[in-house]
Structure 1
Amino acid sequence: MENQKKEKTTEASLEKQQKKLKNRKKLKYGGLATAITVIFVAVVVLVNVVVTQLDKRFPNAKLDLTTANLYEISDETLDYIRNLDKDVDVAISSDEATFTSDKYNKMIAETLSKYQGYSDRINVTYFDTTKDPDVLSKYQELYGGSIQSGQVIINSGKRIKVYNTQTDMFEVDQQKYQYYQYGMASFSDCITAFKGEQTLTSGIMNVTDSNPKTVGILATSNGSPIFAQTSSSADPNTYAFYAMENLLDENGYDVKRLDMMTDELDTATYDILILPAPKTDLTMDSIQKLQDFMYNDGNLGKQLVYIADYTQSSTPNLDAFLKEWNVQVDYSSVIDENNSSNQQVNILLSQNSNSSFVAPVVTVTDDEDYNGHLANTSLPIVAPMARSIQTLTANNGRTVTSLLTSSETSYCYPLSPKTYNTDGTDGTAADGETQAATEAATEAAAENTTTTTSFDKDAAPHGANTVMALCRDQQSTGDSFIESDVIVLGSMSMLDANLVQNSSYNNAEYFVGLLNSVCGKEDSIVVASKDLTQTSITATATQLKVIRLVVVFLIPLTVVVAGVIVAVRRRYR
């Protein structure tokens, strides 16, 4: 009995020991599993913190898998912002959470984040216009206008630019945008491309420019548009005017509209004047104002851009002014029917319609001072409906340089000056036949046809014709030179919206590059807009098969094998 008792005690003792060993084992593995879990979570958190900091320090570490590389920044922009020597504040008049909740605003925010990551000079902040009135007031005092919620404000020193996140950061379909304004469509339906990088970079260049230039566009005369408005349904000059105005603004110029008759052409305020195809002749008083501006009390240093057009009437006073600068704009349209030296282009007649024209492809001068510093010289510059510019000989010290010329196969189709009633509309000439011939010639120039019998294109002189010229008045002051310049363009349509906003043409880049060179402004950066009509991640059939194989088979199989190995090892321990 006693032995049996001892055996039972021994067995109980052994069971207790085995239980303790089992519990220790469980505790050991359980503690190890807990430790591993804690370490793993800590590592994940640490990696997340490190990656976040690395992303701020190295913004290019993010992978952009969008089709149009929406979040990539061009090398030109990177070079510029990395070498900034002035502090720039970029403020968005909205709280960050609200602003970035919109997927389109998110593009702006991500782009700004990269700017800030690449340059210590750029500081990006957000503020609520209702909760931070002091911040709003600070910017409004510099801006002089009303700043609304959700706008992008770029400021350096006392210079400031304010942009609308919709129209300034995105390209929109104008017809759909009309529906949006009437509440018949959402803004996302209107967007076609993201131009945020172009706008932001231009804004930073503008506020940090050590040599800012102010352009006065002579848009009106006694309150009426100075250029011809052909009709409400077909008005290419209006859209060319807006395109030119926006182009200058986007490339860092301070642009202001002026009235030829009522405003003062103050040389202390304006560096450049633009005279866009006045439909009727200027008065002698207006001519004197232009002469005084260019002379600048003997200091020169001014520029005038004169844009001629086939829609103009006879302008003897203006012609006399140009003659003093050794140029003459003929009443003829340059046409080139050689397929290798012309191109079919679309001119914007209204928000909803275009018209197609055959336009001469022109050649840029070899002079390095006036070649526009084009990034891609293979892209064409076209001159639709451009009037021919002739160089006159005069011993007045002024020089003329042909900037853009047509090919040797081009010729000039004669035009007659248009006539306008006193109300500014198209008139009928006293001689009905003369007016009919004028309209026929104008239509022929616009549509590149030769339907009249009075003009024989085969007999017409063929050769290179100038459609853009630079007239320079340069004078020595002893140890330096001073100069004023007149730039003459042969057509408003050379700056048509469909050409200026199309990266397939060099019209915009050349115009801005030349103006920068002539007035001594720092070269602008031209960034192509990013198409938003296709933003999905695309993959080939082979890539899809590989992805399917990895996700559907390899990853699950790996997990199963790992689970079996762990289960077997635990079973036999």
Structure 2
Amino acid sequence: MQKQDKKSEKTAAPISEEKRQKKMQVRKKLKYGGIATAVTVIFVAVVVLLNVVVAQVCKRNPDAVLDLTTANLYEISDDTVDYIKNLDQDVEIAISSEESTFQSDKYYKMISETISKYQGYSDHISVTYFDTTKDPDILSKYQDLYAGDISSNQIIVTSGDRIKVYSLTDMFEIDQDKYQSYYYGYASLSDCITGFKGEQTLTTAIMNVTDSNPKSVAVITKSNGNYIFSATQANAYAVTAMENLLNDNGYDVKELDMVNDTLDAETYDIVVLPAPANDLTMDAIKKLQDFLQNDGNLGKQLIYVADYTQSVTPNLDAFLKDWNLQVDSSYVREDDNNRNQTVQIVASAGKGLIAPIVSLGDSENYGGNLANSSLPIVAPLARPIQKLPSNNGRVVYNLLQSSDTSYAYPLTQQASSGEDTTESASEESQEATEAATTETAATTSFDTDSAVRGANTVMALSQSQQSTGSDLIESDVIVLGSMAMMDYYLTQDSSYNNAEYFIGVLNSVCGKEDSIVIASKDMAATSISATQTQLVTLRTIVVFLIPLAVAAAGIVVFLRRRNR
């Protein structure tokens, strides 16, 4: 019996030891597995926490976010940053869409990222996303302030009882020719987008809704239903560009018909008269005179834009003469090639047009507050403006003028014959008119060599001032010598000062706070640039080295665990 017990003990001992080893192995696996799991959980938690912290830091400190696009699509300018940081009024930016939906589209995401930066720079800016169907109370709040209809995917900017509402297309530069194809279903919207102007639109909106002295502009585009200016593509684009420029800089713009609408001095502060192709009637002249006189209170401005496409205008000329101004029937050319610039404008049909570079005139009070005065101001096809002597108390300032080596070249009979071009011109007549811009006076016998050289004014200001006790009131007439000075391409191109100078002068004259002229960002270049060698190196690292490193690490871990 004892022998049998001893045998049992001998056979039981190895089994017990084997079980013990297995248990030890299980414990090791659990130990290392638990540690690995704990490390993984901790690592994931740290990554998530770090992500949240970085997101919050970037939200409150937009400068911490890197913009790697070549066009800096997500950056905002120093001018905007300075303005936003100094805001002293609360501004609400509302997007009529759920945030997740709004950020699912790449174009909407560009807008939302830009808006987020605005919020990061100022505690006075709040951002709200809402669904027009799920949040009717929020929609009603904004709809009560807005005369139009607010729909989904719109950007709403409010402060107090002032409101501006924008659609997607308001945030981007749109190719108008391609947009026609999109309108008829032959192209996508992305095909039409050429530039991003989200910063320009948002900054302008904030300036507009917080402006304590808003200005309203009436642009006279029609007379008795017909376009008042020569219906060329160049003129139509220039008028649109001027309206957009005014809108983008905080002016409330509305188009009027000279005959059918009322030019009310109580409603409007500024009137724009864009190059009437034919002379104005005496009734129209009286409307302008009454507007500027404002029942003796003055305080109004008229912007008159002359152009080579106009016919003879004796009534309008007499009105200008009363303001000590005269627009000659010629256009300015420049002898000195160093004072010329080849520009792309709508009228040049992509061929380029030589335009004089002009400089500031004799008034330091109207320098336009240019951020970069080294950028040129050009005056394509600009008619010279003469200052007439008079004792009527009105003072004329030469704002922009050409150099002493420039001269005035007479316009053709085509441009001064008085033929009616206010009706919709045919495509052939438009091409013929715009082709004339490259050689406007080909049919004359003018001797260029004998032409008188000297400075020619291409933008002037006439002031009528009155003293009312301790106050000084005034009305003003600003004259530009060319519609092409406000050409669509020139006002959109940040390498010219045409737009900034125009807005700067208008702000000074009408007493409006300085605006910020912001160039659009080109959508054609939005990726990170890299050489072919850099691309090959990056491909090698991503496709081969990183996977090999991960595989090697996996093999090492596997072998170490197997040998334990």
Give TM-score scaled by structure 1 length: 0.88
Q: After the TM superposition, which residues 491-530 of structure 1 pair with which residues of structure 2 at under 5 Å, given as runs?
A: 491-530=482-521
More moved, 72-81 vs 50-59: 50-59
Corresponding residue number in structure 1 for 2:289: 291
- AA matched with 1:410: S
Distance 1:242 1:287 in 2: 24
On the 8 A contact 1:357/1:448 being kept in 2, the answer is: no
Q: After the TM superposition, which residues 127-526 of structure 1 pair with which residues of structure 2 at under 5 Å, given as runs?
A: 127-166=130-169, 168-229=170-231, 234-349=232-347, 353=349, 356-365=352-361, 367-415=363-411, 418-420=416-418, 446-448=437-439, 451-452=442-443, 454-526=445-517
On the 8 A contact 1:418/1:426 being kept in 2, the answer is: no
How far has the Cα of 1:255 moved from its partner?
0.6
Q: 1:426 to 1:195 in 2, by over 3 A?
A: closer
How far has the Cα of 1:458 moved from its partner?
0.9
On the 8 A contact 1:313/1:418 being kept in 2, the answer is: yes
Distance 2:345 2:471 in 1: 44
1:93 has 2:96 as partner: yes
Distance 1:422 1:17 in 2: 109
Q: 1:150 to 1:19 in 2, by over 3 A?
A: closer
Decide which of 70, 74, 78 is 1:71's aligned counterpart: 74
Corresponding residue number in structure 2 for 1:121: 124
Corresponding residue number in structure 1 for 2:428: none
Corresponding residue number in structure 2 for 1:439: none
- AA matched with 1:216: A
Distance 2:305 2:88 in 1: 37
Distance 2:543 2:174 in 1: 41
Distance 1:425 1:13 in 2: 109
How far has the Cα of 1:135 moved from its partner?
3.0
Corresponding residue number in structure 2 for 1:535: 526
Corresponding residue number in structure 1 for 2:54: 51
How far has the Cα of 1:480 moved from its partner?
3.5
Q: Say which SS state the counterpart of residue 185 (structure 1) adopts.
A: coil
Q: 1:6 to 1:283 in 2, by over 3 A?
A: closer
How far has the Cα of 1:176 moved from its partner?
1.7
- AA matched with 1:294: L
How far has the Cα of 1:453 moved from its partner?
5.8
More moved, 544-553 vs 501-510: 544-553
How far has the Cα of 1:546 moved from its partner?
4.8
How far has the Cα of 1:558 moved from its partner?
4.9
On the 8 A contact 1:310/1:387 being kept in 2, the answer is: yes
On the 8 A contact 2:278/2:420 being kept in 1, the answer is: no
How far has the Cα of 1:210 moved from its partner?
1.2
Q: 1:17 to 1:199 in 2, by over 3 A?
A: same
How far has the Cα of 1:564 moved from its partner?
6.3
Distance 2:358 2:41 in 1: 71
Residues 425-464 of structure 1, C-alpha deviations (whole Å, 9 max, x = no match) = 699xxxxxxxxxxxxxx99983246644631111110111
Distance 2:353 2:549 in 1: 64
On the 8 A contact 2:410/2:441 being kept in 1, the answer is: no
How far has the Cα of 1:402 moved from its partner?
0.8
On the 8 A contact 1:239/1:349 being kept in 2, the answer is: no
Distance 2:296 2:10 in 1: 126
On the 8 A contact 1:235/1:349 being kept in 2, the answer is: yes
Q: Say which SS state the counterpart of residue 142 (structure 1) adopts.
A: coil
On the 8 A contact 1:195/1:530 being kept in 2, the answer is: yes
How far has the Cα of 1:28 moved from its partner?
2.5
How far has the Cα of 1:322 moved from its partner?
1.7
How far has the Cα of 1:249 moved from its partner?
0.9
Residues 320-360 of structure 1, C-alpha deviations (whole Å, 9 max, x = no match) = 2222222211122111243222223333249xx55643221
How far has the Cα of 1:311 moved from its partner?
2.3
Distance 1:178 1:424 in 2: 23
Q: 1:453 to 1:563 in 2, by over 3 A?
A: closer
Corresponding residue number in structure 2 for 1:431: none
Distance 2:64 2:300 in 1: 47
Distance 1:426 1:41 in 2: 68
- AA matched with 2:448: K
More moved, 474-483 vs 492-501: 474-483
More moved, 456-465 vs 82-91: 82-91
On the 8 A contact 2:171/2:196 being kept in 1, the answer is: yes
How far has the Cα of 1:11 moved from its partner?
3.8
On the 8 A contact 1:348/1:355 being kept in 2, the answer is: no
Corresponding residue number in structure 2 for 1:437: none
Decide which of 14, 33, 38 is 1:35's aligned counterpart: 38
Residues 25-46 of structure 1, C-alpha deviations (whole Å, 9 max, x = no match) = 3332232223222222222232
Q: Say which SS state the counterpart of residue 168 (structure 2) adopts.
A: coil
Corresponding residue number in structure 1 for 2:430: none
On the 8 A contact 1:335/1:410 being kept in 2, the answer is: yes
How far has the Cα of 1:85 moved from its partner?
1.4
Q: Say which SS state the counterpart of residue 387 (structure 1) adopts.
A: coil
User: Can you give the 5+ residue segments of structure 2 that lack an aligned partner in the other structure?
Assistant: 426-432
Q: How many residues align?
A: 552
How far has the Cα of 1:540 moved from its partner?
2.6
User: Can you give the 5+ residue segments of structure 1 that lack an aligned partner in the other structure?
Assistant: 428-441
Q: Say which SS state the counterpart of residue 144 (structure 2) adopts.
A: helix
Q: 1:443 to 1:68 in 2, by over 3 A?
A: closer
How far has the Cα of 1:14 moved from its partner?
3.9
Distance 1:444 1:528 in 2: 29
Residues 513-562 of structure 1, C-alpha deviations (whole Å, 9 max, x = no match) = 11111111122212221211222222234534553564456545654665
On the 8 A contact 2:499/2:517 being kept in 1, the answer is: no
How far has the Cα of 1:146 moved from its partner?
2.2
Give TM-score scaled by structure 2 length: 0.89
Distance 1:446 1:507 in 2: 19
How far has the Cα of 1:221 moved from its partner?
2.1
- AA matched with 1:225: Y
Q: 1:489 to 1:85 in 2, by over 3 A?
A: same
- AA matched with 2:484: S
Residues 180-222 of structure 1, C-alpha deviations (whole Å, 9 max, x = no match) = 1111111111111111111111111111111111111122222
How far has the Cα of 1:74 moved from its partner?
1.5
Distance 2:331 2:354 in 1: 12
Residues 46-88 of structure 1, C-alpha deviations (whole Å, 9 max, x = no match) = 2232233223222333332222121112111111122211122
Corresponding residue number in structure 2 for 1:436: none
Q: 1:455 to 1:7 in 2, by over 3 A?
A: same
More moved, 465-474 vs 310-319: 310-319
- AA matched with 1:507: N
Q: Say which SS state the counterpart of residue 381 (structure 2) adopts.
A: coil
Residues 300-319 of structure 1, C-alpha deviations (whole Å, 9 max, x = no match) = 22111111122223323322
Distance 1:93 1:560 in 2: 48
How far has the Cα of 1:113 moved from its partner?
1.6
Q: Say which SS state the counterpart of residue 400 (structure 1) adopts.
A: strand
Distance 1:311 1:290 in 2: 22
Distance 2:350 2:12 in 1: 105
